[in-house]
Amino acid sequence: ETGVTQTPRHLVMGMTNKKSLKCEQHLGHNAMYWYKQSAKKPLELMFVYNFKEQTENNSVPSRFSPECPNSSHLFLHLHTLQPEDSALYLCASSQVGTDLDYIGYTFGSGTRLTVV
């Protein structure tokens, strides 16, 4: 399998549920990202991981909890979400050099999340 794989593709959860989104990249990249895309809005960067270390958290509410156990896997743990959290959640990876030169992103197909 190649590229960036996200599971599940679709998820419906209640506000009291706990669920996790999974992302796996097969490209040998060393950086991974979570983005959120709400209806008719630009992609919003949520979290950045470089070499498994979180380097950015863009004021994301604590009900979203990322986890990066290794450079190939990224999770987004969800709990007590609100209906306004319904969106397309996208994972991406890239290869970052030691001086953080930008190379390019590869995105997964996303998880369509609906909070009811």
Partner 1 sequence: LAKTTQPISMDSYEGQEVNITCSHNNIATNDYITWYQQFPSQGPRFIIQGYKTKVTNEVASLFIPADRKSSTLSLPRVSLSDTAVYYCLVPSEGGNKLVFGAGTILRVKS
The residue (of 73 and 79) whose beta carbon lies closer to partner 1 is: 73
The residue (of 5 and 80) whose beta carbon lies closer to partner 1 is: 5
The residue (of 42 and 83) whose beta carbon lies closer to partner 1 is: 42
Query: Shortest approach of partner 1 to residue 69 CB, angstroms?
Result: 20
Query: Shortest approach of partner 1 to residue 109 CB, angstroms?
Result: 5
Query: Shortest approach of partner 1 to residue 16 CB, angstroms?
Result: 26
**Residues in touch with partner 1 (CB under 8 A):** 4, 31, 33, 35, 42-45, 48, 50, 56, 88, 90-92, 94, 96, 99-102, 104-110, 112
Residues 43-60 as b/e (b if ≥16 CB within 10 A, e otherwise) read eeebbbbbeeeeeeeeeb
CA distances from 6 to 26, 97, 100, 101 (A): 12, 25, 25, 26
Alpha-carbon gap, residue 107 to 4, rounded angstroms: 6
Query: Shortest approach of partner 1 to residue 13 CB, angstroms?
Result: 18
Number of H helices, E strands in the chain: 0, 11
